[in-house]
């Protein structure tokens, strides 16, 4: 990457920005660094509504932290009521576009009505603060309504991405002990129906804690409704009242659990709480997205991922913005779908992923060039490193050379953006997430925990707690401590490698653990391996991420088979389908390589590092039909190293 390429903010952008100029950024950063209590206290007072004031700004007993404990607030109230009852009453809160072309513009006032009614529906099902609700829905406004209604009552929600299979859904419902599942008949994706209710029915064969299923009618297709358990959303809602006051909840009350992949086969339930999470997601809307009342803001993420939580729903609504939600795929019915939406709805801030950008680059400039993109003023990127070529295209073809690009580094665990440019202050370098947010103290360290000099690669860690950080893993506090807080005591281990340059800019280099990043989605190698070994033909499996031009990484599986006469070609296809069934279509291996043996250390651990080398450097070639003999590499490489 060429680190010398620098794009300073344009003077008119600087002039109008919330944070205007480098000195303003530095002043904020220094204030947060030297007086964190004062910094966050004044923001919490100014930016959020509280029913009751807190006792302490934060209490830090690593790895346990509390922010604004004793304070009473409500996320839904902050996202909806305070706007609906004020000057933004008639402002569009959610501008929704369905894949078939249907559209809805929901004002803050209407959103309050929808959320209140649905919260009453949840109450009537006997749900109360602390209960768990699983949300398995398409990208429709009711998905956001479901999240907000839970937040209104203190019901802990867990959104499961609609692309996950019934098996994955079941594991999450069971882990949470959820009492209710909120779903739809289906959703639209590339003109086909994603049949969500069918998947729920399968999952619930083994989920005794679920008492009720509430089903939104979206596709109008035939679904089975089980008497006593399943209810139509519109029927329950029709009977509910509009009046449902938001519950005053402790700032540390759990808001949601979101499952993400870790280094084992079992996903981790990341727990986020109320006050600190909301404060920092709200602040990043101002600091990073420079949000203003006249903006039309569009984050293309699905609500099933953390980006959809923080930057489709909670952040933008708390900031009183108009947030765009689109149900379908970027290439349906044609490759200009996104740009047509930008044109029609005069989108001014557009936040997406490098994978999507690379996929659209491939289709040629004629698609965006045929649309009027002059409403855009700021672009964003998240989920994986953006390569400078994609950055340049995004900047030139989409932003027409006059929209800054904020490359935002963060994680499910961090809750909000931690490293990114404030666009009216920080000069950009393509490929770098640039500088930390106020209150964030990143360090790059070596194996022994010592800081490495600028310019050298190391592990990225964060010193000090921040308001929106995960509090624990649902049901597994020990794993939380082991995973994030053991490497350097009292400092958060991100699992990413990074480098800081001489200007203090951070360059994120990717994961250092067995987590793959496919299209900006986290996927554990072990999760896919566990799925594969559940198949009757598979003896052992080892999965690695392989570099991929569009999706960043693709799943590559090395598989050894049980005794038998297997047709490798057929089996390859069958195993791909199997993984889609066990986890979801997005986890389907791109490549399956059958082998006689897997390279292992003396203690029997699979050497994924070696397999990564094989798929990266193509030292061993093969396709799905060839049986590879890795025993040679095994012998050569299983010498002293026990790591990996």
Binding site for ligand PRX (CB under 6 A): 260, 306-307, 382-385, 407-412, 433, 494-496, 508, 510-511, 517, 522
Cβ-proximal residue to ligand PRX, closest one: 412
Q: Transcribe 96-113 into DSSP letters.
A: EE-TTS-EEEEEHHHHHH
Give 300 or 634: the residue with its C-beta nearer to ligand PRX. Answer: 300
CA distance 313 to 307: 9
Closest distance between ligand PRX and the C-beta of residue 593, in Å?
25
Closest distance between ligand PRX and the C-beta of residue 435, in Å?
13
Closest distance between ligand PRX and the C-beta of residue 61, in Å?
25
CB 425 within 8 A of CB 21: yes
Closest distance between ligand PRX and the C-beta of residue 160, in Å?
14
Closest distance between ligand PRX and the C-beta of residue 261, in Å?
8
- Per-residue H/E/C for 213-245: EEEECCCCCCCCCCCCCEEEHHHHHHCCCCCCC
Closest distance between ligand PRX and the C-beta of residue 386, in Å?
7
Instruction: Give the torsion sign (CA, 561, 562, 563, 569).
Output: negative
Give 219 or 307: the residue with its C-beta nearer to ligand PRX. Answer: 307
**Host H or E run for residue 65:** strand 64-67
Interaxial angle between packed helices 36-47 and 22-34, expressed in degrees from 0 to 180 and rounded to the nearest 10:
110
Give 274 or 432: the residue with its C-beta nearer to ligand PRX. Answer: 432
CB 518 within 8 A of CB 553: yes
CB 127 within 8 A of CB 149: no
CA distance 92 to 108: 6
Closest distance between ligand PRX and the C-beta of residue 421, in Å?
11
CB 395 within 8 A of CB 405: yes
CA distance 161 to 50: 31
Closest distance between ligand PRX and the C-beta of residue 39, in Å?
24
Joined tokens for residue 13: 């952008």
Closest distance between ligand PRX and the C-beta of residue 352, in Å?
12
Give 81 or 407: the residue with its C-beta nearer to ligand PRX. Answer: 407
Closest distance between ligand PRX and the C-beta of residue 353, in Å?
8
Closest distance between ligand PRX and the C-beta of residue 267, in Å?
11
Phi and psi torsions of 504, nearest 5° = 85, 10
Within 10 angstroms of residue 35's Cβ, the number of other Cβ atoms is: 12
Give 93 or 360: the residue with its C-beta nearer to ligand PRX. Answer: 360
Nearest CA-CA partner of 604 in 517, 533, 542, 530:
542
Give 186 or 276: the residue with its C-beta nearer to ligand PRX. Answer: 276
Instruction: Report the DSSP beta bridge partners of residue 327.
Output: none
CB 48 within 8 A of CB 275: yes
- Per-residue H/E/C for 592-641: EEEECCCCECCCCCECHHHHHHHHHHCCCCCCCCCEECCHHHHHHHCCCC
Nearest CA-CA partner of 405 in 352, 358, 365, 363:
352
Contact partners, residue 353, CB within 8 Å, separation at least 6: 300, 301, 381, 382, 383, 384, 519, 520
Give 290 or 302: the residue with its C-beta nearer to ligand PRX. Answer: 302
Q: CA 158, 161, 162 angle in degrees (round to 5)?
A: 125
CA distance 205 to 173: 11
Give 144 or 417: the residue with its C-beta nearer to ligand PRX. Answer: 417
Phi and psi torsions of 323, nearest 5° = -110, 130
Within 10 angstroms of residue 471's Cβ, the number of other Cβ atoms is: 23
Q: CA 510, 61, 67 angle in degrees (round to 5)?
A: 80
Give 142 or 384: the residue with its C-beta nearer to ligand PRX. Answer: 384
Give 182 or 306: the residue with its C-beta nearer to ligand PRX. Answer: 306
Closest distance between ligand PRX and the C-beta of residue 382, in Å?
5
CA distance 196 to 327: 14
Give 120 or 310: the residue with its C-beta nearer to ligand PRX. Answer: 310
Closest distance between ligand PRX and the C-beta of residue 135, in Å?
18
Give 233 or 410: the residue with its C-beta nearer to ligand PRX. Answer: 410
Give 345 or 522: the residue with its C-beta nearer to ligand PRX. Answer: 522
Closest distance between ligand PRX and the C-beta of residue 544, in Å?
16
- For tokens 């203690």, name the residue: 603
Report DSSP state, residue 164. Answer: B
Give 106 or 306: the residue with its C-beta nearer to ligand PRX. Answer: 306
First vs last C-alpha separation in the chain: 28
Closest distance between ligand PRX and the C-beta of residue 86, in Å?
31
Give 496 or 529: the residue with its C-beta nearer to ligand PRX. Answer: 496
CB 123 within 8 A of CB 165: no
Give 260 or 323: the residue with its C-beta nearer to ligand PRX. Answer: 260
CB burial of 78-89 (b: ≥16 within 10 Å; e: otherwise) equals: bbbbbbbeeebe
- For tokens 């008639």, name the residue: 90
Closest distance between ligand PRX and the C-beta of residue 415, in Å?
9
């Amino acid at each position: 990457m060429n680190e010398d390429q620098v794009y300073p903010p344009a003077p008119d952008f600087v002039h109008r920005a919330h944070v205007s100029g480098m000195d303003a950024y530095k002043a904020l950063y220094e204030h947060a660094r030297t007086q964190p209590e004062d910094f966050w206290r004044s923001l919490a007072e100014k930016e959020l509504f509280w029913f009751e004031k807190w006792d302490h700004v934060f209490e830090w007993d690593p790895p346990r932290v509390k922010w604004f404990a004793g304070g009473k607030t409500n996320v839904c109230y902050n996202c909806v009521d305070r706007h609906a009852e004020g000057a933004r009453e008639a402002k569009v809160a959610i501008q929704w576009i369905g894949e078939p072309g249907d559209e809805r513009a929901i004002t803050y006032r209407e959103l309050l009505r929808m959320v209140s009614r649905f919260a009453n529906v949840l109450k009537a099902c006997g749900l109360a603060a602390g209960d768990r609700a699983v949300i398995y829905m398409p990208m429709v406004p009711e998905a956001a309504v479901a999240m907000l209604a839970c937040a209104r009552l203190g019901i802990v929600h867990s959104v499961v991405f609609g692309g996950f299979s019934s098996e994955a859904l079941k594991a999450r419902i069971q882990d949470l002990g959820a009492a209710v599942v909120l779903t739809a008949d289906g959703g639209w994706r590339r003109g086909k129906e994603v049949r969500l209710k069918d998947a729920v029915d399968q999952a619930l064969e083994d989920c005794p804690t679920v008492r009720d299923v509430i089903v939104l009618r979206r596709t109008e297709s035939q679904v089975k409704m089980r008497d006593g358990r399943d209810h139509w959303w519109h029927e329950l809602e029709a009977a509910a009242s509009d009046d449902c006051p938001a519950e005053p909840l402790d700032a540390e009350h759990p808001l949601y659990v979101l499952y993400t992949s870790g280094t084992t086969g079992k996903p981790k339930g990341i727990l986020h709480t109320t006050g600190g999470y909301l404060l920092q997601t709200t602040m990043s809307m101002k600091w990073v997205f420079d949000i203003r009342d006249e903006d039309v803001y569009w984050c293309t993420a699905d609500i099933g991922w953390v980006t959809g939580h923080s930057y489709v729903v909670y952040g933008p609504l708390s900031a009183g913005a108009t947030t765009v939600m689109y149900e379908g795929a970027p290439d349906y019915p044609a490759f200009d779908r996104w740009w047509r939406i930008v044109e029609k709805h005069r989108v001014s801030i557009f936040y997406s992923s490098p994978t999507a950008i690379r996929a659209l680059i491939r289709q040629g400039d004629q698609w965006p060039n045929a649309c009027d993109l002059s409403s855009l003023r700021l672009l964003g990127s998240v989920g994986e490193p953006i390569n400078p070529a994609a950055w340049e295209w995004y900047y030139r073809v989409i932003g027409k050379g006059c929209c800054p690009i904020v490359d935002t580094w963060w994680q499910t665990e961090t809750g909000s953006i931690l490293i990114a440019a404030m666009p009216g202050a920080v000069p950009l370098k393509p490929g770098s997430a640039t500088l930390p947010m106020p209150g964030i103290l990143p360090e790059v360290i070596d194996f022994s925990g010592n800081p490495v000099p600028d310019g050298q690669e190391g592990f990225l860690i964060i010193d000090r707690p921040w308001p929106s950080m995960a509090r624990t893993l649902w049901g597994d506090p020990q794993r939380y401590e082991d995973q994030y807080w053991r490497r350097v005591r009292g400092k958060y281990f991100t699992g990413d490698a990074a480098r800081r340059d001489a200007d203090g800019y951070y360059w994120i280099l990717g994961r250092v653990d067995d987590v793959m990043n496919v299209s900006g989605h986290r996927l554990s190698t072990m999760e896919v391996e566990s799925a594969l070994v559940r198949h009757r033909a598979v003896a052992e499996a080892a999965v690695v991420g392989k570099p991929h031009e569009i999706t960043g990484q693709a799943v590559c599986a090395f598989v050894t088979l049980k005794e038998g006469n297997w047709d490798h070609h057929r089996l390859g296809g069958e195993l791909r389908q199997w993984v889609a069934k066990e986890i979801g279509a997005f986890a389907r291996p791109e490549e399956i390589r059958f082998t006689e043996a897997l390279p292992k250390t003396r203690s029997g651990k699979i050497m994924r590092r070696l397999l990564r080398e094989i798929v990266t450097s193509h030292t061993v070639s093969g396709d799905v039909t060839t049986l590879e003999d890795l025993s040679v590499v095994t012998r050569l490489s299983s010498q002293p190293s026990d790591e990996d």
